[in-house]
Amino acid sequence: MSGVDAQRRAGAEACGVPNVNRERGQRQVFCGLAGIVWLHRKIQDAFFLVVGSRTCAHLLQSAAGVMIFAEPRFATAILQERDLAGLADCHKELDRVVAEVLERRPDIKTLFLVGSCPSEVIKLDLSKAAERLSGVYGGRVRVVDYSASGLETTFTQGEDTCLNALVPQMPVIADGSRSLLVVGTLPDVVEDQFSRFFQELGIGPVHYLPPRQASELPPVGNGTSVLLAQPFLSETARMLQKRGATLLSAPFPLGIEGTLGWLQAAADAWGIPEERVKEVTAAAVARAERGLARQRELLAGKRISFLPDSQLEVPIARFLQRECGMELVEVATPFLDRQLMEAELGLLPSDLRLTEGQDVERQLDRVREDRPDITVCGLGLANPLEAEGLRTKWSIELVFSPIHGFDQAADLAELFARPLVRGALLQV
């Protein structure tokens, strides 16, 4: 029995759906505008125009690490004091900025007008602006609006609202046709890996949302099976179901076990037996197990806590506990969608301290009392905890890094081994 199989077997003995503790209180969250950083890299013919403040512009530039000479496909239409005071015609100014952007970037086929906290506070109606601008530039540019405000959401929901805004634009699938729709932004290299597996299994046609070209939106309808690649797309999943699509229940493709279960869910929908899935994935699984072996030596027995931030907490906790031998002290997530997490919850220990929501002071008190080996948290909490001698991992790094699939399993584990190695070196 391999090391991964042994860890899975040990974890399975304690599995069951854990009770969920719900907390409400002061929250510490990152802005949904961060989603633009990975969305603009994925959708190659789109431009993201944020209607916000100078703070929004600085956040985007800092998060993306954009050099001064770069030509990013995002920008900020900055609201001035006159705009905020209602003394200026914001729509007239927005029209001017949009005209400048499209004149400078004639290659853009889809323009996203992105709402922010400032634009929502002054009740700027971007949906009407998008409708008006679509008429002006009809046939050349599709104009879509969505909100990435951080007032009531966590940062990964920026992608959810973006994809949700695209669903009504998707064409209807032809009668009698069927297809698989993989939903959630993936790095191109990971997407290509998954496409090869689907092709070898005889599953297809396979489409991705978001697509690499927003002008080539995939079809959707009664013949569409939806497989989520990211766990923070609740509203997009609901909207696709309203369009007639069927949502497949599966763990998320993180680690060996999650990726196998994810592929098997698609195979089941196409009537492909488990033996064929194992045959097609055998070489990739073997590579992943070899890569995980060294990281497991560093992680096995280490204790980890998750503070709520990215909504990736549950599937990553499952991977670390079952395949890397880590002990889960507490797993907290901003929102827990039981429909999307059904397959994941059954793989967690039944006695797990699982928390939905956040009361940041109470959760920090528990971290200080538990003193785990690693705490996964947002940027704003990491440095204070490090100053108290607690090792941390930034949760936003898990969204920016390629972590899905077999070939990325060892890289995902290494993200958590790295703070332990660094901590050991500092103690020498």
At the fourth CATH level, the homologous superfamily of domain 3-27+289-427 is Nitrogenase molybdenum iron protein domain (3.40.50.1980)
What residues are designated binding site?
Answer: 31, 56, 117
Q: How confident is the model at residue 180 (pLDDT cuts 50, 70, 90)?
A: very high
Per cent of the chain over pLDDT 70 is: 89
271-328 pLDDT, tens digit per residue, is 999 999 999 999 999 999 999 999 999 999 999 999 999 999 999 999 999 999 999 9
Domain 179-274 superfamily per CATH: Nitrogenase molybdenum iron protein domain (3.40.50.1980)
Say if residue 67's pLDDT is above 90.
Answer: no
Predicted TM-score of the model (pTM): 0.90
* Residue written as token pair 């700027």: 124
Residues 228, 218 contacting (CB under 8 angstroms): no
The 3-state secondary structure of the chain, one letter per residue? CCHHHHHHHHHHCCECCCCEEEEECCCCCCCHHHHHHHHHHHCCCEEEEEEECHHHHHHHHHHHCCCCCCCCCEEEEECCHHHHCCCCCHHHHHHHHHHHHHHHCCCCCEEEEEECHHHHHCCCCHHHHHHHHHHHCCCCCEEEEEECCCCCCCCCHHHHHHHHHHHHHCCECCCCCCEEEEECCCCHHHHHHHHHHHHHHCCCCEEEECCCCHHHCCCECCCEEEEECCCCCHHHHHHHHHCCCEECCCCCCEHHHHHHHHHHHHHHHCCCCHHHHHHHHHHHHHHHHHHHHHHHHHHCCCEEEECCCCCCHHHHHHHHHHHHCCEEEEEEECCCCHHHHHHHHCCCECCCCEEEEECHHHHHHHHHHHCCCEEEECHHHHHHHHHCCCCEEECHHHHHCCCCECCCHHHHHHHHHHHHHHHHHHHC
Strands, sheet with 246-247, edge to edge from the N-terminal-most edge strand: 206-209, 179-183, 224-228, 246-247
Question: Residues annotated in the binding site for [4Fe-4S] cluster, as ranges?
Answer: 31, 56, 117
Own/partner pairs for 64-67, CB < 8 Å, 24+ apart? Answer: 64/36, 64/37
Overall average pLDDT of the 223-252 stretch: 97
**pLDDT reported for residue 9:** 46
> Residue 426's pLDDT is what?
66
Return the domain boundaries, the chain: 3-27+289-427, 32-153, 179-274
- 30 close to 150: Cβ distance less than 8 angstroms: yes
Pick the CATH number of 32-153 from 3.10.310.10, 3.30.450.20, 3.30.70.100, 3.40.50.1980: 3.40.50.1980
**Within 10 Å of residue 39's Cβ, how many Cβ atoms?**
23
Equal fold, 3-27+289-427 vs 32-153: yes
* Amino acid 71: pLDDT: 62
What's the token pair of residue 128? 């009407």
73-87, 156-170, 274-288, 368-382: least confident range: 73-87
pLDDT in tens, 109-154: 999 999 887 777 777 889 999 999 999 998 889 999 998 886 666 7
